[in-house]
Structure 1
């Protein structure tokens, strides 16, 4: 699609619905927030008398979310949204697997179907491959929040499509607030270049041109799960995949999320939670679920949850539950 001026940039109503759902997780009366974002009040009902809305509605939602939450909360909310709802929604529609490049090119075409202002494409420049998001720069307040969202989204998309083989290394951004972007989840090790004409992610050629395996996402309707409504619920959601690493010291959680240790502690303490206790409870909850699965041995359950040997696992479990893992399994089989 040639990059020609549009009379009005529009977005599919279904996309706006997804973003409008975010308002349910911040303080404020929902219809007041919808009006602030210039979204029709019936967007969250089953009314189907229109199919598109102006792109400004999505910009307004992201701006209001950014201004209503702390930087850490905004990042976690948007990461949860991308990981849980938005990225799987696009990945489920992809069919190209012969190379990451072809899958990304197909994604770029998909994006144009939901917004006539979308322009994301692959490009080779300076001897490197890039995934580029082109958006006319503006000093309007919404722009930084929209670019933050785009960086979170693209990072998660590339991670999913490459099954974690790709890691952010060089990222060009149009904004000049370097600290804000460096604090995003999983982006702490990336080298950012500010004041660029486009947003761009560098992708090594051996990854860009290699085949990929698309994850099987068969029930797109299940992707709109309730989003977290607090820092604690968001934290639990995004840290859960890492519990198999063992006790998960807060320094490692800080590194994974790219949020300072003291910030994590302060946010959790404000909700009456101590980090160490929370992780122990979450690990125990996962252990109990695994013990109910008869196809895993006690030793396998312990190993899966990061315990070096079965005796260590048994002692730790008995300390918390006043019974051995074997006794628990017998009672709940």
Structure 2
């Protein structure tokens, strides 16, 4: 097991955040001067001052537009996820869950006031980050950054474009969470004792991939990924725009239609069956755990008319969407 150096981890995080701010065209010179960080670089002999970084973030966050906020959180998190994988050791890990457990243990050893775990919440497995809540301006960015970072680790470890369908926040609103963080129409639990997300057991049980996956293209160009599961998350990410077609997926994945069909056949399925299962599973999730109307759910799933969705759902499930929703509510 590797022995992480807290100062190196903090330095990597700070340099990634500073670079992302510059790329987002945020003027940070005044804030750097105020917090004595203007002369700090990766070649400095003394460790980065964490208090100065916190002070800088409290000054800079109120200046950010929503677009800059999300860009900084997402870009720095992606960079630091790759750095974390390089700095840590996962030699004894064979599955996504084992790698996440190892990551949690290694990080928790060097963190103060923060505990990372894979634990049960709301009847499912969740990645949890338990840390004190703060009213400071930096906290929403910290939470958003953390969710991006941990989401990217699951995606990297699984070799998929995985995104969570359920989130938990320490914050009491979700204004700092956008579509890049999770799947469309997520279930969000506010004001919890931790922030994190649900990770499906089928994802946790996947064989561990340690080769960096930096784009959808690189995921699908490799033959060792769970192709149907990887494709599922691409479809889920594009629901709500319209019915997702094979032609669209071909463009997104940069694979030919025939290649997609062949690889699905090798996985023991076909596009129609896979797509129907995705729509049905997502419909059941939204009917049970969201407050959306059946008509809104049908539009989100790509149906131009709710009656078409109702016919599909009854054919596959034996109940109308409203009957399914009513039965579930009665049982719970």
Indicate the RMSD between aligned Cα atoms, in angstroms.
4.1
Structure 2: distance between partners of 1:195 and 1:304: 37
1:47 correspondence with 2:41:
no
- TM-score normalized by the length of structure 2: 0.56
Deviation for aligned residue 1:17: 3.3
Quick check: 1:139 aligned with 2:120? no
Please point out which of 170, 188, 192 is paired with 2:166.
170
Q: What residue number does 2:17 align with?
A: 19
- Cα deviation, residue 21, structure 1: 3.2
Q: Which has the higher contact order (CA 8 A, sep 6+)?
A: 1
- Residue of structure 1 equivalent to 2:193: 197
What's the counterpart of residue 229 of structure 1? none
For 1:165 and 1:303, the matched residues in 2 are separated by 12
Is this contact kept in 1: 2:128–2:194, CA < 8 A?
yes
Indicate if the aligned counterparts of 2:164 and 2:183 stay in contact, CA closer than 8 A.
Answer: yes
1:66 positional shift:
3.4
Given that 1:183 and 1:259 are in contact with CA atoms closer than 8 Å, whether structure 2 keeps it comes out as no
- TM (norm. structure 1) is 0.55
User: Is residue 96 of structure 2 the alignment partner of residue 100 of structure 1?
Assistant: yes
Separation in 2, partners of 1:35, 1:239: 40
2:27: which partner in 1? Answer: 28
Specify the alignment match of 1:74 in structure 2.
69
Name 2:82's counterpart in structure 1: 88
For the 8 Å contact 2:13–2:80, the answer to whether it is kept is no
Shift of 1:196: 1.1
After superposition, the Cα gap between the structure-2 partners of 1:303 and 1:91, relative to the gap in structure 1 and judged at 3 Å, is: closer
CA contact (8 A) 2:17 2:72 kept: no
Corresponding residue for 2:204?
A: 208
SS of alignment partner, residue 170 of structure 2: coil
Q: Contact between 2:31 and 2:60, CA under 8 Å: does it hold in 1?
A: no
Deviation string 1:14-52 (CA, Å, 9 cap, x unpaired) is 44333333443333253x22234x35333126221x235
Distance 2:184 2:176 in 1: 11
Aligned to 2:304: none
Superimposed CA distance per residue, residues 160-201 of structure 1 (whole angstroms, 9 cap, x where no aligned partner) = 211227431111111122243244444434211111111021
Tell me if the contact between 1:59 and 1:146 (Cα under 8 Å) persists in the aligned partners: no
Partner residue in 2 for 1:226 = none
Give 1:97 shift. 2.8
Are 1:185 and 1:258, in contact at CA under 8 Å, matched by a contact in 2?
Answer: no
C-alpha separation in 1, matches of 2:197 and 2:89: 20
The Cα of 1:131 is off from its aligned counterpart by 0.8
Of residues 134, 148, 151, the one that matches 1:152 is: 148
Residues of 2 paired with 1:14 and 1:195: CA distance? Answer: 29
Unaligned runs of 5+ in 1: 1-8, 218-236, 245-252, 261-300, 310-333
| Matched positions, count | 228
Quick check: 2:156–2:209 contact (8 Å CA) kept in 1? no
SS at match of 1:111: helix
Equivalents in 2 of 1:81, 1:258: separation in Å?
27
Q: Write the distance in 2 (CA, Å) between the matches of 1:87 and 1:73.
A: 20
Q: Deviations over 1:256-290 (max 9, x none)?
A: 59999xxxxxxxxxxxxxxxxxxxxxxxxxxxxxx
Deviates more, 1:11-20 or 1:93-102: 11-20
Distance 2:126 2:42 in 1: 40
3-state DSSP class of the match of 2:176?
helix
1:140 counterpart SS class: coil
